[in-house]
Amino acid sequence: MDIKRDYYEDIRLLDSKAIWFWFIMLLLSLTIFPFIAPNYYIYMANYMAINVIVTIGLNMLVGYTGQISLGHAGFFAIGAYITVLFMTKIHLPFLLALLLGGMIAALFGFILGLPALRLEGPYLAIATLGFGMAITQVIGRWHIFGGRMGIEVPSPSFGSYVLNSDRQIYFLIISIAFLLIMMARNLMKTKVGRAFIAIRDSDIAAETMGVNLVYYKTVAFAISAFYVGIAGGLMAFLLGFINPSSFNFILSIYFLAFVIVGGLGSILGSIMGGVVMTWLILVLDKVQELPYLGEALVSFSSKWMNLAGLPNISSIIFGLIIVLVVVFEPLGLYGFWIRTKIYWKTWPF
């Protein structure tokens, strides 16, 4: 089966001809998609791609390095705001602004990584959580960031060609997402990735083997923050308007939920988690419009609950999903995928 016999086989991008074929098919369908799909689905695809970037970024920290973070909404906010500020105040081209947004998020990630060197488990959770809360509070109170009212995002443009519809921005988001996925995949197969995994499995053992904990833990935070910062910048382009209250604690939990549902310590799992959970968010946003179920829920909630509160059902379902995934399938969708694959490969047996 999938036994890797030497190092070059392990770092190869795609394993077999069949996988090459499907890979090219995927690229083709991603290219054709915006020309045939209705607008809403393009928006959905953009949203999914952004969340995939976030999930991969967070997974490199939580899944690969084993450091929990409940403050990634903070990096998301930093990425979004810095990108927008560089574009509006200094009029940098948007790609540069986006990159700088990611870089500054990475810088904050590095800074947050420093206390993380001495913390673990619940203590790390509270420190990162405090960071996330503090970022949104500070942003909400500074006038340069538009305060609580939020800030208008200029449309990204190449010279005079302005990308202002979901369809035009699609290629930007998808190609950046693709690039970042490939980067993450390759990074995890290098020395850095192996160091991360060693730290996750046992940091003391890793240190004994010569892994520089100070370096790799802070790098893990920085890379993870970079990914999430870039995603934040893209999200700003997608939404066209950002305000501090959209980067709250709940968002950090959602990010963590993406990672958990997708599968800890797996890039493929992160992609699946990001896509599936984003789809779920968008569907649950309009739960009363679902066939059959929607009507039942509406009548149930007007009888027993409160009709205006119905959209909050998404929070209940998300909570249930992450609890059930952790209890029954700790490896998430990726674990499920692996088991299915093995089942069919060895099928009659």
Nearer Cβ to other proteins (73/100): 73
Number of residues binding to other proteins, judged by CB under 8 A: 53
Which range touches other proteins (CB under 8 A), out of 118-126, 216-224, 236-244, 339-347? 118-126
Q: Alpha-carbon Rg of the chain, whole angstroms?
A: 21
296 binds other proteins (CB under 8 A): no
Q: Does 306 bind other proteins (CB under 8 A)?
A: yes
Q: Tell me the two tokens of residue 321.
A: 């999903």
63's tokens: 């899944």
Which residues inside 230-259 make contact with other proteins, applying CB under 8 A? 249-250, 253, 256
Part of the chain binding other proteins (CB under 8 A), chosen from 23-31, 44-52, 326-334, 339-347: 326-334
Minimum distance, C-beta of residue 131 to other proteins, in the bound complex (Å): 7
Can you read off the two tokens belonging to residue 212?
């520089």
Task: Pick one of 328, 344, 347, 349: the residue that binds other proteins (CB under 8 A).
Answer: 328
CA atoms within 13 A on the CB side of 16: 5
For the chain, where are the E strands, in sequence order? 151-152, 157-158, 161-162, 241-242
Rounded to the nearest 10 degrees, the angle between the axes of helix 249-262 and helix 122-141 is: 130
Least gap, CB of 304 to other proteins (angstroms)? 8
Query: What six digits make up the tokens of 44?
Result: 């959905």
In the bound complex, what is the minimum distance in angstroms from residue 66's beta carbon to other proteins?
8
The reply to whether 319 sits near other proteins by the rule CB under 8 A is yes
Q: Is 326 in the site for other proteins (CB under 8 A)?
A: yes
Residue with tokens 């997402």: 177
Q: How far is CA 100 from CA 104, 147, 240, in A?
A: 6, 22, 19
Binding-site member from 194, 301, 335, 336 for other proteins (CB under 8 A): 301
Q: Taking CB under 8 A as the rule, does residue 165 contact other proteins? A: no
Residues between 192 and 231 that touch other proteins (CB under 8 A): 202, 204-205
Compare residues 95 and 107 and give the one whose CB is closer to other proteins. Answer: 107
Asked if 221 and 139 count as a contact pair (C-beta separation under 8 A), the reply is no
Query: Alpha-carbon dihedral of residues 345, 346, 347, 349, nearest 10 degrees?
Result: 180
Per-residue contact track with other proteins, 119 to 148, x per CB under 8 A? Answer: x-xxx-xxx-xxx-xx--xx--x-------
CB of 22 to other proteins, least distance (A): 32
HSE of 6 in the Cβ direction (CA atoms, 13 Å)?
A: 1
| Angle of CA points 254, 285, 70, to nearest 5° | 10
Does residue 94 interact with other proteins by CB under 8 A? no
